[in-house]
Structure 1
Protein backbone atom coordinates (compact mmCIF):
# COMPACT_ATOMS: atom_id res chain seq x y z
CA UNK A 1 0.00 0.00 0.00
CA UNK A 2 1.53 3.27 -1.14
CA UNK A 3 0.12 6.79 -0.86
CA UNK A 4 1.28 9.27 -3.50
CA UNK A 5 0.54 12.98 -3.59
CA UNK A 6 -0.54 13.78 -7.16
CA UNK A 7 -1.55 17.42 -6.71
CA UNK A 8 0.16 19.28 -3.85
CA UNK A 9 -1.77 21.78 -1.76
CA UNK A 10 -1.96 25.25 -3.29
CA UNK A 11 -1.26 26.96 0.04
CA UNK A 12 -0.13 26.24 3.56
CA UNK A 13 -2.64 26.24 6.43
CA UNK A 14 -0.52 28.84 8.26
CA UNK A 15 0.60 31.98 6.47
CA UNK A 16 4.02 33.54 6.81
CA UNK A 17 2.37 36.62 8.31
CA UNK A 18 0.53 34.42 10.83
CA UNK A 19 3.74 32.70 11.95
CA UNK A 20 5.61 36.01 12.16
CA UNK A 21 2.81 37.50 14.28
CA UNK A 22 2.85 34.42 16.53
CA UNK A 23 6.62 34.77 16.97
CA UNK A 24 6.60 38.61 17.10
CA UNK A 25 9.05 38.92 14.22
CA UNK A 26 8.98 42.18 12.26
CA UNK A 27 11.96 41.73 9.93
CA UNK A 28 11.87 39.98 6.55
CA UNK A 29 15.42 38.59 6.69
CA UNK A 30 14.41 34.97 7.31
CA UNK A 31 11.12 34.68 5.45
CA UNK A 32 12.33 31.78 3.29
CA UNK A 33 13.43 29.86 6.40
CA UNK A 34 10.12 30.54 8.16
CA UNK A 35 8.14 29.34 5.11
CA UNK A 36 10.18 26.13 5.01
CA UNK A 37 9.55 25.58 8.73
CA UNK A 38 5.80 25.95 8.15
CA UNK A 39 6.04 23.20 5.50
CA UNK A 40 8.07 20.95 7.82
CA UNK A 41 5.61 21.45 10.70
CA UNK A 42 2.61 20.80 8.43
CA UNK A 43 4.16 17.71 6.87
CA UNK A 44 5.04 16.28 10.28
CA UNK A 45 1.55 16.94 11.63
CA UNK A 46 -0.07 15.27 8.61
CA UNK A 47 2.22 12.25 8.94
CA UNK A 48 1.47 11.59 12.61
CA UNK A 49 -2.28 12.29 12.41
CA UNK A 50 -3.21 11.00 8.95
CA UNK A 51 -5.01 14.27 8.35
CA UNK A 52 -4.64 16.18 5.08
CA UNK A 53 -4.85 19.79 6.17
CA UNK A 54 -5.11 21.52 2.81
CA UNK A 55 -6.98 20.06 -0.14
CA UNK A 56 -4.82 18.00 -2.52
CA UNK A 57 -4.96 15.07 -4.93
CA UNK A 58 -3.77 11.68 -3.70
CA UNK A 59 -3.37 8.22 -5.20
CA UNK A 60 -3.54 5.07 -3.10
CA UNK A 61 -1.78 2.18 -4.82
CA UNK A 62 -2.58 -1.41 -3.80
CA UNK A 63 -1.26 -4.76 -4.95
CA UNK A 64 -4.68 -6.39 -4.44
CA UNK A 65 -7.98 -5.72 -2.70
CA UNK A 66 -7.88 -6.17 1.10
CA UNK A 67 -9.48 -9.30 2.57
CA UNK A 68 -12.25 -7.33 4.27
CA UNK A 69 -14.83 -5.13 2.57
CA UNK A 70 -13.23 -1.84 3.67
CA UNK A 71 -10.19 -0.02 2.26
CA UNK A 72 -8.49 2.53 4.51
CA UNK A 73 -7.49 5.60 2.49
CA UNK A 74 -4.78 6.71 4.97
CA UNK A 75 -5.89 10.37 4.89
CA UNK A 76 -8.91 12.27 6.10
CA UNK A 77 -11.11 14.20 5.39
CA UNK A 78 -11.79 12.92 1.88
CA UNK A 79 -13.66 15.27 -0.43
CA UNK A 80 -14.20 12.88 -3.35
CA UNK A 81 -13.20 9.63 -5.01
CA UNK A 82 -12.03 10.74 -8.44
CA UNK A 83 -11.14 7.44 -10.14
CA UNK A 84 -10.43 3.78 -9.53
CA UNK A 85 -8.19 1.93 -11.96
CA UNK A 86 -7.51 -1.80 -11.99
CA UNK A 87 -4.68 -2.91 -14.28
CA UNK A 88 -4.93 -6.13 -16.29
CA UNK A 89 -2.05 -8.48 -17.10
CA UNK A 90 -1.01 -6.28 -20.04
CA UNK A 91 -0.88 -3.17 -17.84
CA UNK A 92 -4.03 -1.68 -19.35
CA UNK A 93 -6.37 0.11 -16.93
CA UNK A 94 -10.00 -0.82 -16.39
CA UNK A 95 -12.22 1.54 -14.44
CA UNK A 96 -15.05 0.12 -12.32
CA UNK A 97 -18.12 2.33 -12.01
CA UNK A 98 -17.92 4.79 -9.12
CA UNK A 99 -21.64 4.25 -8.51
CA UNK A 100 -20.75 1.10 -6.54
CA UNK A 101 -18.54 2.99 -4.10
CA UNK A 102 -19.44 3.79 -0.50
CA UNK A 103 -17.25 6.41 1.20
CA UNK A 104 -16.93 7.22 4.90
CA UNK A 105 -15.13 10.52 4.25
CA UNK A 106 -14.62 11.80 7.79
CA UNK A 107 -13.52 8.60 9.54
CA UNK A 108 -9.91 8.58 10.66
CA UNK A 109 -8.58 7.21 8.40
CA UNK A 110 -11.29 7.63 5.75
CA UNK A 111 -12.81 4.34 4.59
CA UNK A 112 -14.00 3.13 1.24
CA UNK A 113 -16.09 0.12 0.20
CA UNK A 114 -16.04 -0.89 -3.47
CA UNK A 115 -18.69 -3.36 -4.65
CA UNK A 116 -17.29 -3.91 -8.16
CA UNK A 117 -13.89 -5.40 -7.33
CA UNK A 118 -12.27 -6.29 -10.63
CA UNK A 119 -9.29 -8.62 -10.18
CA UNK A 120 -5.93 -6.98 -10.94
CA UNK A 121 -3.85 -8.81 -13.53
CA UNK A 122 -0.48 -7.55 -12.40
CA UNK A 123 0.90 -8.75 -9.05
CA UNK A 124 2.33 -5.39 -7.95
CA UNK A 125 0.53 -2.03 -7.96
CA UNK A 126 -2.50 -3.47 -9.71
CA UNK A 127 -5.04 -1.07 -8.18
CA UNK A 128 -5.03 2.74 -8.03
CA UNK A 129 -7.56 4.83 -6.16
CA UNK A 130 -7.44 8.56 -6.96
CA UNK A 131 -9.06 10.84 -4.41
CA UNK A 132 -9.12 14.42 -3.16
CA UNK A 133 -8.48 14.91 0.55
CA UNK A 134 -8.08 17.85 2.89
CA UNK A 135 -10.11 20.69 4.26
CA UNK A 136 -11.54 22.99 1.59
CA UNK A 137 -10.02 26.09 3.20
CA UNK A 138 -7.72 27.00 6.08
CA UNK A 139 -10.76 28.38 7.96
CA UNK A 140 -12.14 24.82 8.28
CA UNK A 141 -8.99 23.40 9.90
CA UNK A 142 -9.48 22.81 13.63
CA UNK A 143 -7.78 25.56 15.65
CA UNK A 144 -5.74 23.11 17.73
CA UNK A 145 -4.03 21.85 14.56
CA UNK A 146 -3.22 25.41 13.44
CA UNK A 147 -1.83 26.11 16.92
CA UNK A 148 0.27 22.91 16.75
CA UNK A 149 1.85 24.08 13.47
CA UNK A 150 2.60 27.53 14.92
CA UNK A 151 4.14 26.09 18.09
CA UNK A 152 6.17 23.50 16.19
CA UNK A 153 7.45 25.95 13.57
CA UNK A 154 8.44 28.43 16.31
CA UNK A 155 10.26 25.65 18.16
CA UNK A 156 12.13 24.65 15.01
CA UNK A 157 13.09 28.30 14.48
CA UNK A 158 14.46 28.61 18.02
CA UNK A 159 16.76 25.61 17.46
CA UNK A 160 17.67 26.42 13.86
CA UNK A 161 21.39 26.72 14.64
CA UNK A 162 21.60 23.43 16.52
CA UNK A 163 20.06 21.26 13.81
CA UNK A 164 20.38 21.74 10.04
CA UNK A 165 17.24 22.35 7.97
CA UNK A 166 17.47 18.95 6.26
CA UNK A 167 17.43 17.20 9.66
CA UNK A 168 14.14 18.80 10.76
CA UNK A 169 11.94 18.08 12.60
CA UNK A 170 14.54 17.23 15.22
CA UNK A 171 12.42 18.00 18.27
CA UNK A 172 8.82 18.36 19.30
CA UNK A 173 7.91 21.19 21.70
CA UNK A 174 6.26 20.55 25.05
CA UNK A 175 2.49 20.49 24.81
CA UNK A 176 2.49 19.54 21.12
CA UNK A 177 1.18 16.03 21.76
CA UNK A 178 -1.67 17.38 23.89
CA UNK A 179 -2.73 19.71 21.07
CA UNK A 180 -2.89 16.93 18.49
CA UNK A 181 -3.98 14.05 20.78
CA UNK A 182 -7.60 13.98 19.55
CA UNK A 183 -6.30 13.67 15.97
CA UNK A 184 -3.70 10.96 16.53
CA UNK A 185 -4.05 7.58 14.86
CA UNK A 186 -4.34 4.87 17.47
CA UNK A 187 -3.39 1.26 16.87
CA UNK A 188 -3.90 -1.85 18.90
Structure 2
Protein backbone atom coordinates (compact mmCIF):
# COMPACT_ATOMS: atom_id res chain seq x y z
CA UNK A 1 0.00 0.00 0.00
CA UNK A 2 2.86 2.33 0.86
CA UNK A 3 4.47 1.61 -2.51
CA UNK A 4 1.22 2.46 -4.33
CA UNK A 5 0.90 5.73 -2.41
CA UNK A 6 4.48 6.67 -3.25
CA UNK A 7 3.86 5.82 -6.92
CA UNK A 8 0.74 7.99 -6.95
CA UNK A 9 2.64 10.97 -5.47
CA UNK A 10 5.42 10.57 -8.05
CA UNK A 11 2.86 10.36 -10.86
CA UNK A 12 1.15 13.51 -9.60
CA UNK A 13 4.46 15.42 -9.42
CA UNK A 14 5.41 14.23 -12.91
CA UNK A 15 2.07 15.34 -14.35
CA UNK A 16 2.41 18.72 -12.65
CA UNK A 17 5.92 19.08 -14.02
CA UNK A 18 4.75 18.37 -17.58
CA UNK A 19 1.88 20.80 -17.12
CA UNK A 20 4.31 23.46 -15.93
CA UNK A 21 6.53 22.94 -18.98
CA UNK A 22 3.51 23.17 -21.27
CA UNK A 23 2.37 26.44 -19.67
CA UNK A 24 5.90 27.86 -19.91
CA UNK A 25 6.12 26.92 -23.58
CA UNK A 26 2.77 28.60 -24.22
CA UNK A 27 3.91 31.79 -22.49
CA UNK A 28 7.15 31.84 -24.47
CA UNK A 29 5.29 31.39 -27.75
CA UNK A 30 2.86 34.13 -26.80
CA UNK A 31 5.70 36.42 -25.86
CA UNK A 32 7.38 35.82 -29.23
CA UNK A 33 4.22 36.82 -31.08
CA UNK A 34 2.88 40.00 -29.49
CA UNK A 35 -0.62 40.96 -30.51
CA UNK A 36 -0.76 43.64 -33.19
CA UNK A 37 -2.20 46.93 -31.92
CA UNK A 38 -5.51 48.22 -33.24
CA UNK A 39 -3.80 51.33 -34.63
CA UNK A 40 -1.32 49.17 -36.56
CA UNK A 41 -4.21 47.16 -38.02
CA UNK A 42 -6.06 50.35 -38.97
CA UNK A 43 -2.95 51.73 -40.65
CA UNK A 44 -2.40 48.55 -42.66
CA UNK A 45 -6.04 48.79 -43.77
CA UNK A 46 -5.38 52.09 -45.61
CA UNK A 47 -5.74 51.30 -49.28
CA UNK A 48 -3.43 53.18 -51.71
CA UNK A 49 -5.69 52.03 -54.54
CA UNK A 50 -8.24 54.58 -53.28
CA UNK A 51 -5.91 57.44 -54.23
CA UNK A 52 -4.76 55.79 -57.45
CA UNK A 53 -8.38 55.67 -58.59
CA UNK A 54 -8.60 59.44 -58.06
CA UNK A 55 -5.34 59.89 -59.95
CA UNK A 56 -6.63 57.98 -62.97
CA UNK A 57 -9.82 60.07 -62.98
CA UNK A 58 -7.65 63.19 -63.18
CA UNK A 59 -5.53 61.69 -65.95
CA UNK A 60 -8.72 61.10 -67.94
CA UNK A 61 -9.97 64.62 -67.20
CA UNK A 62 -6.67 66.17 -68.29
CA UNK A 63 -6.70 64.09 -71.47
CA UNK A 64 -10.08 65.64 -72.32
CA UNK A 65 -8.37 69.03 -71.96
CA UNK A 66 -5.61 68.05 -74.35
CA UNK A 67 -2.87 67.13 -71.88
CA UNK A 68 -1.14 63.78 -71.42
CA UNK A 69 -0.12 63.43 -67.76
CA UNK A 70 0.84 60.56 -65.48
CA UNK A 71 -0.88 59.37 -62.26
CA UNK A 72 1.05 59.56 -59.00
CA UNK A 73 0.60 57.57 -55.82
CA UNK A 74 -0.74 60.62 -53.95
CA UNK A 75 -3.92 60.67 -55.97
CA UNK A 76 -2.78 63.49 -58.21
CA UNK A 77 -0.97 63.76 -61.52
CA UNK A 78 2.58 64.55 -62.55
CA UNK A 79 4.27 65.59 -65.76
CA UNK A 80 7.57 66.75 -67.13
CA UNK A 81 8.69 68.52 -70.29
CA UNK A 82 8.15 65.28 -72.19
CA UNK A 83 4.41 65.47 -71.42
CA UNK A 84 3.81 69.22 -71.25
CA UNK A 85 5.93 71.81 -73.10
CA UNK A 86 7.18 74.67 -70.94
CA UNK A 87 5.07 77.25 -72.77
CA UNK A 88 1.92 75.30 -71.80
CA UNK A 89 2.66 74.82 -68.10
CA UNK A 90 0.30 77.55 -66.94
CA UNK A 91 -2.51 76.03 -68.99
CA UNK A 92 -1.73 72.59 -67.59
CA UNK A 93 -1.81 73.79 -63.97
CA UNK A 94 -5.09 75.57 -64.63
CA UNK A 95 -6.40 72.34 -66.14
CA UNK A 96 -5.50 70.46 -62.95
CA UNK A 97 -7.37 73.02 -60.83
CA UNK A 98 -10.39 72.81 -63.14
CA UNK A 99 -10.35 69.00 -62.97
CA UNK A 100 -10.30 69.15 -59.18
CA UNK A 101 -13.45 71.28 -59.30
CA UNK A 102 -15.17 69.18 -61.96
CA UNK A 103 -14.42 65.90 -60.16
CA UNK A 104 -15.55 67.29 -56.79
CA UNK A 105 -12.17 66.82 -55.10
CA UNK A 106 -12.36 70.32 -53.62
CA UNK A 107 -15.69 69.57 -51.94
CA UNK A 108 -14.34 67.30 -49.21
CA UNK A 109 -15.89 68.14 -45.81
CA UNK A 110 -13.90 69.65 -42.96
CA UNK A 111 -11.98 67.12 -40.91
CA UNK A 112 -13.74 66.64 -37.57
CA UNK A 113 -12.06 66.57 -34.17
CA UNK A 114 -12.65 62.82 -33.91
CA UNK A 115 -10.99 62.33 -37.29
CA UNK A 116 -8.03 64.44 -36.17
CA UNK A 117 -7.46 62.18 -33.16
CA UNK A 118 -7.61 59.16 -35.46
CA UNK A 119 -5.28 60.86 -37.93
CA UNK A 120 -2.71 61.50 -35.21
CA UNK A 121 -2.63 57.84 -34.18
CA UNK A 122 -2.26 56.73 -37.81
CA UNK A 123 0.51 59.31 -38.34
CA UNK A 124 2.44 57.66 -35.52
CA UNK A 125 2.11 54.33 -37.32
CA UNK A 126 3.20 55.93 -40.60
CA UNK A 127 6.29 57.33 -38.87
CA UNK A 128 7.19 53.84 -37.59
CA UNK A 129 6.71 52.45 -41.10
CA UNK A 130 8.94 55.09 -42.71
CA UNK A 131 11.68 54.70 -40.13
CA UNK A 132 11.70 50.95 -40.72
CA UNK A 133 12.22 51.24 -44.49
CA UNK A 134 15.43 49.67 -45.74
CA UNK A 135 16.32 52.24 -48.39
CA UNK A 136 19.71 53.59 -47.40
CA UNK A 137 21.12 50.49 -45.70
CA UNK A 138 22.21 51.30 -42.15
CA UNK A 139 21.03 54.91 -42.51
CA UNK A 140 17.31 55.16 -41.79
CA UNK A 141 14.74 57.79 -42.69
CA UNK A 142 14.53 60.38 -39.92
CA UNK A 143 10.97 61.54 -39.29
CA UNK A 144 10.33 64.82 -37.49
CA UNK A 145 9.36 64.40 -33.83
CA UNK A 146 5.63 64.20 -33.22
CA UNK A 147 3.89 66.85 -31.10
CA UNK A 148 1.49 65.80 -28.37
CA UNK A 149 -1.85 64.51 -29.58
CA UNK A 150 -3.71 67.42 -28.03
CA UNK A 151 -1.37 69.94 -29.65
CA UNK A 152 -1.83 68.26 -33.03
CA UNK A 153 -5.62 68.31 -32.75
CA UNK A 154 -5.86 71.90 -31.52
CA UNK A 155 -3.45 73.36 -34.11
CA UNK A 156 -4.71 71.36 -37.08
CA UNK A 157 -6.51 74.28 -38.72
CA UNK A 158 -4.37 77.04 -37.21
CA UNK A 159 -3.95 80.01 -39.57
CA UNK A 160 -0.55 80.74 -41.07
CA UNK A 161 2.03 78.74 -42.95
CA UNK A 162 2.50 76.03 -40.32
CA UNK A 163 1.06 72.77 -41.58
CA UNK A 164 -0.16 70.03 -39.20
CA UNK A 165 2.60 67.60 -38.28
CA UNK A 166 2.98 64.77 -40.73
CA UNK A 167 5.56 61.97 -40.96
CA UNK A 168 5.49 62.79 -44.67
CA UNK A 169 6.75 66.32 -44.03
CA UNK A 170 9.34 68.27 -46.01
CA UNK A 171 12.34 66.71 -44.25
CA UNK A 172 11.10 63.20 -45.03
CA UNK A 173 10.49 64.10 -48.66
CA UNK A 174 13.98 65.55 -49.03
CA UNK A 175 15.54 62.36 -47.69
CA UNK A 176 13.50 60.09 -49.94
CA UNK A 177 13.87 62.31 -53.00
CA UNK A 178 17.64 62.04 -52.72
CA UNK A 179 17.21 58.34 -53.55
CA UNK A 180 15.13 59.05 -56.64
CA UNK A 181 11.50 59.46 -57.67
CA UNK A 182 10.95 55.70 -57.93
CA UNK A 183 11.92 55.31 -54.26
CA UNK A 184 9.46 58.04 -53.28
CA UNK A 185 6.62 56.27 -55.09
CA UNK A 186 7.54 52.91 -53.55
CA UNK A 187 7.70 54.46 -50.08
CA UNK A 188 4.27 56.05 -50.54
CA UNK A 189 2.80 52.68 -51.41
CA UNK A 190 4.56 50.94 -48.52
CA UNK A 191 3.79 53.69 -45.97
CA UNK A 192 0.69 55.64 -47.10
CA UNK A 193 0.23 59.19 -45.84
CA UNK A 194 -2.82 59.07 -43.50
CA UNK A 195 -3.67 62.70 -44.35
CA UNK A 196 -4.79 61.51 -47.78
CA UNK A 197 -7.45 59.38 -46.08
CA UNK A 198 -8.51 61.80 -43.34
CA UNK A 199 -12.04 62.28 -44.66
CA UNK A 200 -12.60 58.52 -44.76
CA UNK A 201 -11.58 57.85 -41.14
* TM-score bracket relative to the smaller structure: under 0.3
Larger gyration radius, structure 1 or structure 2? 2
Larger % of strand: which?
1
Larger % of helix: which?
2
Q: Which structure carries more relative contact order (alpha carbon 8 Å, separation 6+)?
A: 1
- TM-score (normalizing by structure 2): 0.23
